């Protein structure tokens, strides 16, 4: 059992879903922190969408995170990517846990990531996006999201 109402209580008390309802410019060949403008829910108030655009774990445990990024107007031979960054460290590389990339050409690219990671209380998680076109590109607005919950 756990004490009800405390920030470290219950795996599914720690849950959130945030999204962006406007576009964000992503510079070429630079990992950029994705920013969020709205919350669908945030069970323990662990996500800052105003200043740092990050999740800060209230309790230590295993967390499941999912995030997506859509890019407009990429040339067919260019790519976009997404990754999780925990306390300044990238989690995984090229298609492994923490980073996924896909390119569809035809000026539309969608990236999606799902990851189960161990996070200690007080550690932060941000989502970063990347694109390899020759100029800054806008990510899609409402189609982009970042969600998570503590598993145990």
Residues 25 and 17: beta-carbon distance below 8 Å: no
- Where are the chain's structural domains? 14-150
Instruction: Residue 37: name the closest of 25, 23, 55, 26 by CA.
Output: 23
Provide, rounded to the nearest whole percent, the portion of the chain with pLDDT above 90.
Answer: 45
What pTM did the predictor assign?
Answer: 0.82
Task: Considering only residues 1 and 80, tell me which one the structure prediction assigns the higher pLDDT.
Answer: 80
- Residue 96: pLDDT over 80: no
Closest by CA to 20, choosing from 3, 4, 39, 2, is 39
CATH number of 14-150: 2.60.120.40
């Amino acid at each position: 059992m756990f004490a009800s109402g405390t920030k470290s209580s219950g795996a599914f008390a720690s849950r959130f879903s945030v999204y962006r309802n406007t576009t964000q410019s992503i510079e070429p060949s630079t990992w950029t922190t994705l920013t969020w403008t709205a919350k669908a829910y945030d069970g323990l108030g662990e996500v800052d969408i105003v200043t740092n655009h990050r999740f800060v774990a209230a309790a230590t445990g295993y967390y499941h995170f999912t995030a997506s990024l859509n890019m407009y107007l990429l040339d067919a031979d260019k790519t976009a990517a997404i990754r999780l960054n925990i306390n300044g460290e990238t989690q995984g590389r090229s298609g492994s846990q923490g980073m996924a990339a896909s390119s569809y050409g035809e000026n539309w690219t969608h990236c999606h990531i799902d990851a189960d990671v161990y996070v200690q209380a007080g550690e932060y998680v941000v989502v970063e996006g990347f694109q390899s076109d020759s100029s800054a590109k806008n990510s899609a607005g409402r189609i982009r999201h970042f969600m998570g919950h503590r598993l145990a």
